[in-house]
């Protein structure tokens, strides 16, 4: 089961400020792979499960309790999100911020040619 927010009902400036989440350019990825092949470097890839559930929401976002999961005697209450949900307009950006901070804390630096590498 997956809980999904109704991002279509979010209002810019109220429920979120920014949605843009940068990604590496295709040519940058191809260049890195070509360099790795020429230098005989090992390549690793990963997939982060439930990616968008790991981003921290900075805005105050409230959602209705999902049907079947209401708190007894508090069915009319809403829940404040601390982390992103699928469907939130800002979910990709919150994930990018979390991953960017984590990689920086490990000592990784960004490429000058493409800041997403």
Q: What is the pLDDT of residues 24-60, one digit of tens each?
A: 999 999 999 999 999 999 999 989 889 999 999 988 8
Asked if 111 and 96 count as a contact pair (C-beta separation under 8 A), the reply is no
Contact 95, 55 (CB under 8 A): yes
Please tell me which residue, 7 or 33, carries the higher pLDDT value.
Answer: 33
- Whether residue 14 is predicted with pLDDT greater than 90 in this model: the reply is no
Question: How much is the pLDDT for 103?
Answer: 94
């Amino acid at each position: 089961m997956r809980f999904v927010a109704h991002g279509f009902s979010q209002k810019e400036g109220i429920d979120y400020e920014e949605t843009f989440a940068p990604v590496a350019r295709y040519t940058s990825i191809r260049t890195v792979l070509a360099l790795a092949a020429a230098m005989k470097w090992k390549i690793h890839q990963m997939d982060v499960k439930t990616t968008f559930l790991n981003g921290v929401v900075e805005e105050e976002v409230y959602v209705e309790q999902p049907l079947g999961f209401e708190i007894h005697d508090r069915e009319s209450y809403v829940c404040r999100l601390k982390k992103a949900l699928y469907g939130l307009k800002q979910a990709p950006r919150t994930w990018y911020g979390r991953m960017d901070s984590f990689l920086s804390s490990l000592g990784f630096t960004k490429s000058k040619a493409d800041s997403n590498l």
